[in-house]
Amino acid sequence: MNALKIKKGSNSHSAYNLRSTFSDVIEQHTLAVVVDNEAGVLARVIGLFSGRGYNIESLTVAEVDHTGKRSRITIVTRGTPQVIEQIKAQLGRIIPVHQVNDLTVEGPSVERELALIKVEGAGDHRVEALRLADIFRAKVVDSTLTSFVFELTGTPDKIDAFAELMRPLGLVELARTGVAALSRGDS
């Protein structure tokens, strides 16, 4: 019995072709996750993303309620609408998770990121860097005769744009916090 009728490279009948009836548009969502600040909780969240193959564009975490020992994790992720729904449902299953909010769909929100940008150079480049920093309302938080460290707060796009402008002017190091986000208006 030879059952091997091979069509080369054929995978149209893959049982893992799971989302055929689903939309394949990739969306970016910002999720706010409130968790008990217990040992290992961040590892659980990150392990969920790596274990199930989801993307993390950025992730920030800090304790926001010291008496209640609650932390807020802000995750920016990308995926099809079905994957985003799965991510939210999977996050919701983690025992120390209190609440999962999808800021992208739950009405308008503010998103901010902080960046520290070190630019080295002299002469015209230095002057131009300062001028652009002023336009972007970046603050100088450290300076030497040959370098600046700028502090910039804004949307990730704004930071991207600033970093791009600084690159030819001597950008040597960039540190970003990742996004923190809140919904607008009263909750």
Partner 1 sequence: MARQMTGAKMVVQALKDQGVDTVFGYPGGAVLPIYDEIFQQNDIKHVLVRHEQGAIHAAEGYARSTGKPGVALVTSGPGATNAVTGLTDALLDSIPIIVLSGQVPTFMIGTDGFQEADTVGITRPCTKHNWLVQDTDDLSRLMHAAFHVATTGRPGPVLVDIPKDVQFATGTYHPKPKSSDFRYQPPLKADTEELTELVAALEVAKRPVFYTGGGVINSGPAASQLLRELVEATGAPITSTLMGLGAYPASGEKWLGMLGMHGLYEANMAMHDCDLMINIGARFDDRITGRTDAFSPNSRKAHIDIDPSSINKVIHVDFPIVGDVAHVLEDMLRIWKARGRKMNREALAKWWQKIDGWREVKCLTYKNSDKIIKPQYALERLEALTKDHDRYITTEVGQHQMWAAQFLGFEDPNRWMTSGGLGTMGYGFPASIGVQMAHPDALVINVAGEASWLMNMQEMGTAVQYRLPVKQFILNNERLGMVRQWQQLLHGERYSSSWSEALPDFVKLAEAFGAKGIQCSDPADLDDAIMEMLNYDGPVIFDCLVEKHENCFPMIPSGKAHNEMLLGDASTEGAIEAGGAVLV
Token pair belonging to 183: 């919904």
CB 53 within 8 A of CB 30: no
Within positions 37 to 56, which residues make up the interface with partner 1, using CB under 8 A?
39-40, 43-44, 47, 51
Residue 11 sits in the site that holds partner 1 (CB under 8 A): yes
Choose which of 24, 64, 68, 92 interacts with partner 1 (CB under 8 A). Answer: 92
The angle formed by the CA atoms of residues 174, 78 and 158, to the nearest 5 degrees, is 35
Within positions 96 to 155, which residues make up the interface with partner 1, using CB under 8 A?
98
Looking at the Cβ atoms of 78 and 88, the one nearer to partner 1 is: 88
Distance CA 32, CA 109 (A): 11
Looking at the Cβ atoms of 40 and 108, the one nearer to partner 1 is: 40
* Other beta carbons within 10 Å of 98: 14
Smallest gap from Cβ 5 to partner 1, in A, equals: 5
Residue 113 burial (C-beta neighbours within 10 Å; 0-12, 13-18, 19+): buried
Distance CA 76, CA 30 (A): 4
Choose which of 25, 66, 67, 93 interacts with partner 1 (CB under 8 A). Answer: 93
Binding site for partner 1 (CB under 8 A): 1-8, 10-18, 20-22, 39-40, 43-44, 47, 51, 82, 85-86, 89-90, 92-93, 95, 98
